[in-house]
């Protein structure tokens, strides 16, 4: 635009000079009228030129004003957008608290007052202040990269919350807390239902099983096969009920006893149990690559490990090999593993294997006398020890079930010879 204006001005000057020259020449050689015409044309162009120059000057003088107006408009639009976002977050049913690197509250919404008890007076104060003495406050002091799944709301203990923290920008983080009371109540109803049904079934099943045991097949030879089947099924039902009760108990526990679990004797006990179950059909060995022990519940760890060993025996055909392993990891943790070269499991089942009653093949499980709850129990026991279950398997080649234990659960070998609690021998 600017270059067009400059060219126009140069053009006007050239035309003015040309018109003046033309006017002089016309006055000398043609006529006075011609000279007058030329001069007027030149004047008109000069006038045009001045208009341009003044217009450009005015435009230059107005530019800061217009930029200021545009900036003000932009600012007002941004302010409106900010207010809209704040109003939207403010109206959320989830509690939202913005806090800085020092943990000081910057902003919060109405739900944060209702659920967390954050008030206007807490702005600029540590977030720990309104949450002091609550489980949420205790969670805030720990590793908050892991979300809190089910905690009482600090401002109303009858409500349950799920909370997480998300850092954003360079300085700020946001605490999000969702009211999950309804979900939590439903979960409790489910847990109570399973526990109550299992409990109610236990007594009649014990009675039925007792009477079946009293009946001697020799007395009624024609019913011998039926009696045998009835005994087997009632035993299976009793086992399912016991496993369901174990799971219910584990679900309601927040922690298990902290005992010193002597691993070397436990590995030997597990090997003896496997040999007894295998009845000589498998080669069973122990590979202990470390002498370290574990901190946890002797009873529950024994039961979880023994579940894996019994699965290896049940799902490995005769002549197969089973290795019970114990080794340390580079990060100071340790792994208990059971490896077999049995049937194996295809990849699509692995992620769901530890779900209740999930079976790769129900006939395979039934034949082997399984309840479908074993791995679920293992997973719960490991969770309560901050451990995890890792399954590697290939159909036709075998499986390895590993219990990965955190370094905080590993105890150094008992060098002073003090007796550590051993698991009950078989």
Minimum distance, C-beta of residue 110 to ligand ADP, in the bound complex (Å): 46
Chain positions 287 to 346 lying near ligand ADP, rule: CB under 6 A, are 311-312, 315, 340, 342-343, 345
Minimum distance, C-beta of residue 284 to ligand ADP, in the bound complex (Å): 13
Chain positions 407 to 426 lying near ligand ADP, rule: CB under 6 A, are none
Chain positions 43 to 62 lying near ligand ADP, rule: CB under 6 A, are none
**DSSP β-ladder status, 293-296 and 259-261:** antiparallel
* Residue with smaller CB distance to ligand ADP, 184 or 402: 402
Minimum distance, C-beta of residue 374 to ligand ADP, in the bound complex (Å): 3
E-state strands within 199-320: 259-261, 283-288, 293-296
Q: What kind and span of H or E run contains 275? A: helix 263-278
Minimum distance, C-beta of residue 381 to ligand ADP, in the bound complex (Å): 13
* Residue with smaller CB distance to ligand ADP, 109 or 399: 399
* Residue with smaller CB distance to ligand ADP, 147 or 395: 395
CB 309 within 8 A of CB 266: no
Question: Residue holding tokens 């105890």?
Answer: 411
| Residues in binding contact with ligand ADP, number by CB under 6 A | 21
Site track for ligand ADP across 385-404, x = CB under 6 A: --------------x-----
Q: Is 12 in the site for ligand ADP (CB under 6 A)?
A: no
Minimum distance, C-beta of residue 349 to ligand ADP, in the bound complex (Å): 7
* Residue with smaller CB distance to ligand ADP, 121 or 395: 395
* Residue with smaller CB distance to ligand ADP, 134 or 311: 311
Torsion of the alpha carbons at 186, 187, 191 and 193, rounded to the nearest 10 = 20
Chain positions 348 to 387 lying near ligand ADP, rule: CB under 6 A, are 353, 359-361, 364-365, 370-376
Q: What is the full DSSP assignment across 342-406?
A: SS---HHHHTTTTSTT--S-HHHHHHTT--S-HHHHHHHHHHTTT-EEEEEEETTTEEEEEEEE-
Minimum distance, C-beta of residue 327 to ligand ADP, in the bound complex (Å): 19
Q: What is the CA radius of gyration of the chain?
A: 42
* Residue with smaller CB distance to ligand ADP, 115 or 312: 312
Minimum distance, C-beta of residue 384 to ligand ADP, in the bound complex (Å): 17
Minimum distance, C-beta of residue 269 to ligand ADP, in the bound complex (Å): 19
Query: Alpha-carbon distance 45 to 19, whole Å?
Result: 9
* Residue with smaller CB distance to ligand ADP, 5 or 281: 281
Taking CA atoms, 411 is separated from 36, 110, 113, 404, in Å, by 115, 48, 44, 14
Q: Which two tokens stand for residue 298?
A: 């002797």
Minimum distance, C-beta of residue 426 to ligand ADP, in the bound complex (Å): 20
Cα 225 to chain center, whole Å? 52
* Residue with smaller CB distance to ligand ADP, 296 or 374: 374
Q: Which two tokens stand for residue 351?
A: 């992620």
CB 197 within 8 A of CB 241: no
For residue 222, the 8-state DSSP code is G
Minimum distance, C-beta of residue 317 to ligand ADP, in the bound complex (Å): 11
Name the closest residue to ligand ADP (Cβ).
Answer: 370
CB 402 within 8 A of CB 271: no
Minimum distance, C-beta of residue 342 to ligand ADP, in the bound complex (Å): 5
What are the φ and ψ backbone dihedral angles of 295, each rounded to 5 degrees? -110, 120
Query: Alpha-carbon distance 159 to 407, whole Å?
Result: 35
Q: Which two tokens stand for residue 275?
A: 């040999």
* Residue with smaller CB distance to ligand ADP, 298 or 345: 345
Q: Which two tokens stand for residue 70?
A: 């545009």
For the chain, what percentages of helix, strand and coil (3-state, to nearest 5) are there? 55, 20, 25
The footprint of ligand ADP (CB under 6 A) covers 311-312, 315, 340, 342-343, 345, 353, 359-361, 364-365, 370-376, 399
């Amino acid at each position: 635009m600017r270059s067009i204006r400059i060219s126009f001005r140069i053009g006007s000057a050239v035309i003015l000079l040309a018109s003046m020259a033309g006017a002089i020449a016309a006055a000398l050689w043609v006529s006075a009228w011609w000279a007058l015409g030329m001069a007027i044309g030149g004047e008109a162009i000069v006038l045009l030129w001045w208009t341009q120059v003044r217009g450009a000057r005015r435009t230059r003088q107005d530019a800061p004003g217009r930029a200021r107006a545009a900036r003000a408009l932009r600012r007002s639009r941004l302010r409106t957008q900010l207010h809209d976002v704040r109003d939207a977050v403010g109206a959320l049913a989830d509690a939202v608290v913005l806090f800085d690197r020092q943990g000081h509250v910057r902003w919060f919404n109405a739900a944060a007052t209702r659920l967390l008890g954050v008030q206007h007076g807490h702005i600029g104060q540590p977030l720990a202040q309104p949450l002091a003495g609550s489980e949420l406050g205790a969670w805030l002091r720990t590793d908050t990269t892991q979300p809190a799944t089910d905690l009482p709301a600090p401002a109303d203990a009858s409500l349950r919350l799920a909370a997480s923290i998300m850092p954003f920008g360079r300085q700020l983080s946001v605490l999000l807390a969702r009211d999950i009371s309804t979900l939590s109540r439903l979960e409790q109803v489910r847990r109570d239902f399973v526990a109550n049904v299992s409990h109610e079934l236990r007594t009649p099943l014990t009675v039925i099983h007792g009477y079946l045991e009293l009946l001697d097949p020799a007395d009624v030879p024609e019913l011998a096969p039926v009696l045998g089947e009835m005994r087997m099924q009632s035993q299976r039902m009793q086992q399912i009920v016991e496993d369901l009760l174990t799971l219910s108990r584990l679900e309601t526990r927040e922690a298990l006893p902290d005992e010193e679990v002597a691993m070397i004797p436990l590995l030997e006990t597990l090997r003896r149990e496997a040999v007894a179950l295998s009845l000589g059909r498998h080669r069973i060995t122990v590979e202990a690559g470390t002498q370290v022990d574990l901190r946890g519940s002797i009873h529950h760890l024994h039961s979880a490990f023994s579940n894996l060993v019994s699965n290896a025996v049940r799902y490995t055909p005769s002549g197969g090999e089973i290795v019970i392993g114990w080794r340390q990891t580079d990060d100071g943790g340790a792994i208990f593993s059971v490896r077999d070269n049995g049937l194996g499991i295809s990849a699509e089942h692995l992620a769901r294997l530890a779900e209740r009653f999930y079976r790769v093949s129900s006939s395979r499980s039934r034949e082997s006398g399984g309840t479908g709850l074993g791995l679920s129990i293992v997973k719960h026991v490991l969770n309560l020890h901050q451990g995890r279950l890792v399954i590697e398997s290939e159909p036709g080649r075998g499986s390895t079930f590993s219990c990965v234990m955190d370094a905080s659960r590993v105890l150094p070998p008992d060098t002073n010879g003090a007796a550590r609690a051993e698991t009950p021998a078989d």
